[in-house]
Structure 1
Amino acid sequence: MSRLQFKQVDVFSKQTLMGNPLAVVLHADELSDARMAAFARWTNLSETTFLLEPVDPRADYRVRIFTTVQELPFAGHPTLGTCHAWLESGGQPKGEEIIQECGIGLVRIRRRGNQLAFKAPPLLRSGPVEAVLLERLRVVMGLGEGAIIEARWVDNGAGWLALRLTDRATVLGLAPDYAQLAGLAIGVFAPWDVVQDGDEAQFEVRAFIAGDGMPEDPVTGSLNAGIAQWLLGAGLAPDSYIVSQGTVMGRQGRVHVERVGDDIWIGGEAVTCIDGTLAL
């Protein structure tokens, strides 16, 4: 049995318990695939990550990302949370940016004060959602005719498709039939209305992952990266905006999106809630 350094981090929040929790196991090179998967099931969090020595000489570290049911090639809040844990444990980047190695390759991460941001990776699948699937989703989500303005695939490794809805109240009021969503990763979003909702954020997002440990993800970097590529590419959002996510779950997640040239950066703060050792 190995004793390993362990951190549990809250991501996309500057306050503990208000973001999306992530379990991070450091120096995990000796763990088998089966042991990693078993621990991820045991934590019952949306994701658990394992920090490893990089294979690519350009990378600062390598990470493997597990949900309770599968390994992912990429995910957003695990990217920022793992980077936070690596830096906090003494990690020193080789250059100005931090380079993470994961299933989709190398991911660039930058630091600005207390905030970390990753460069949105290219989409593996994009374009409109098939009409039959879209109608199924409308019914399962309990949405009326015309509530879905548009739907697109925004898959950058986690399988996301996104529904653009009419208003924030509709997003917050969703109560989907999770049994009918099994096998799908669904994001929904709508703009904030300055008069009704205020100006703290510009969009409200929710993320549903039926069949995983948590059927709704509190705050989701990969989904927001995909949605940002859609919104910014279509001219539906300014070059810099803030997303609110986790409201229905009692969280106050804030995702900062910024376009710089051709790059889109997805950022937020992270805070460590648990720091200790783990027997595996």
Structure 2
Amino acid sequence: MSIEFVHVDVFSPEPYSGNSLAVFPDARGLSAAQMLRITQELRHFEAIFLEPTADRQSVRTRVFDLFEELPFAGHPIIGAAAVLHRESRGSDAQVRRVMLSAKTVTIVTERTERGYYGLLDQGTPEFLGTVQDRASIAKAFNLQPGDLRDDLPLEVVSTGLRYLVVPLRPGALERAGIPSDISELLRGFGAQFAVLLDEAALEVRHWNNDGIIEDVATGSAAGSVGAYRLKHGLARAGETFLLHQGRFNGRPSQLRIQTEGNREAPKSVKVGGDVAFVGRGTLEVLP
């Protein structure tokens, strides 16, 4: 048995930039263990496996990173929706329901001059508490407490994955890193991951919790940042702002974020980006 996949780059209109992704348009019959092994073999940051349904506008999906299945992720959904749009050969905008293990989301895709663009509605954000231990957080990222903004809170925000948003002073982002695994530290604060935010530059950085791999463009984290910025008066509802990521690992990416609601009651966060097609492949042997 063989299986086909499509290689796309998300959050960039240019191939070989943005966040790479393997999309398996028809992964029926694969087990979770096989999906994980395939993701590890291909070495993209994440891979997404699709299961077609009777409704062409709905698709079941499973997303894996190099370690485990994820209940939600941003750039895999945008990339997968662009692949389905391209394979449908439709020229008009398309709306799809994407069913994940944790939630169902809606995404709109449209053709562009250079590829495709997807806008993912991540739904209503959750604000899960602030963190007061600034010294421990600074140390976890190889920074000093003075590198953290003291006028903005450290806060756990989720649109599907629980991110600790860490606002930094200008210049601190480039000095940041993770010298040792932060999973246990984050778990104590009710977070799964962390994202560092330079509000002045509208730029973020995010790593796997062991600090070995830095992500290029993190759609789920961008959703949390968008909700955070709306709540704290840094963004206006209904307006789109551009978030930058990937500069430090040579794959600059741009994520477009739009929030709805108000500071007291954010209603939804939408994250959008371009998708560039790189190629196709076939796995002739399955694990």
TM-score (norm 2): 0.83
Corresponding residue SS for 1:78: helix
User: In the TM superposition, what whole-angstrom CA distance separates every residue of 1:23-71 from its partner, at most 9, and x where no partner exists?
Assistant: 111211111121111111212222111011248x696111100111111
Match of 1:268 in 2: 273
Kindly indicate whether residue 20 of structure 2 is the aligned counterpart of residue 12 of structure 1: no
Q: Distance in 2 between matches of 1:136 and 1:147?
A: 12
Matches for 1:87-236 after TM superposition, within 5 Å: 87-90=85-88, 97-112=95-110, 113=112, 114-123=116-125, 126-129=128-131, 131-132=132-133, 134-149=134-149, 150-167=153-170, 169-177=171-179, 179-182=180-183, 184=186, 185-192=193-200, 203-211=202-210, 215-236=213-234
Q: How many residues align?
A: 263
Match of 1:255 in 2: 255
Q: Name the aligned partner's letter for residue 80 of structure 1.
A: I
Matches for 1:53-72 after TM superposition, within 5 Å: 53-54=52-53, 60-72=58-70
Q: Distance in 2 between matches of 1:75 and 1:135?
A: 29
Q: Distance in 1 between matches of 2:230 and 2:89?
A: 33
TM-score (norm 1): 0.85
Q: Distance in 2 between matches of 1:58 and 1:128?
A: 42
Corresponding residue SS for 2:228: helix
**Unmatched tracts of structure 2, length 5 or more:** 187-192, 262-266
State the identity %.
25
Corresponding residue SS for 2:66: coil
How far residue 259 of structure 1 moved from its aligned partner, in angstroms, is 2.8
**Unmatched tracts of structure 1, length 5 or more:** 193-201
Q: Distance in 1 between matches of 2:165 and 2:234?
A: 15
Q: Name the aligned partner's letter for residue 42 of structure 2.
A: T
Q: Name the aligned partner's letter for residue 127 of structure 1.
A: G
How far residue 252 of structure 1 moved from its aligned partner, in angstroms, is 1.3
User: In the TM superposition, what whole-angstrom CA distance separates every residue of 1:85-104 from its partner, at most 9, and x where no partner exists?
Assistant: 22222287xx9522111122
Q: Distance in 2 between matches of 1:190 and 1:274?
A: 34
Q: Distance in 1 between matches of 2:53 and 2:233?
A: 38
Q: Distance in 1 between matches of 2:126 and 2:213?
A: 23
